[in-house]
Amino acid sequence: MGETYALSAGIPVVWSSDDEGVAVVDADGVVTAVGEGAATITATSAVNGSRTDTVIVNVTLTDRGSFRWRRSY
């Protein structure tokens, strides 16, 4: 648990997760696995709040006790 994956937007954005029981994201776009499931990570433009992009992260626990990531854009 606690494995991370870094996202990048290329412009100033505000990051958010719709399910912090699965994955949390910090201000730098680093996503941390918290539990199994799917979470939508949203990047909202810091300049124009009507511009957003999302990625769905699917987190599963492996038999070795670590998380496996799968992203959908």
Question: Bridge partners of 23?
Answer: 33
pLDDT tops 70 at residue 67: no
Q: Which amino acid is at 72?
A: S
- pLDDT in the model for residue 69: 64
* Range 31-58 average pLDDT: 93
| pLDDT(39) > 80 | yes
Instruction: Give per-residue pLDDT as tens, 9-34.
Output: 999 999 999 999 999 999 999 999 99
* DSSP class per residue in 19-32: -TTTEEE-TT-EEE
pTM of the entire structure? 0.85
At position 47, the amino acid (one-letter code) is V
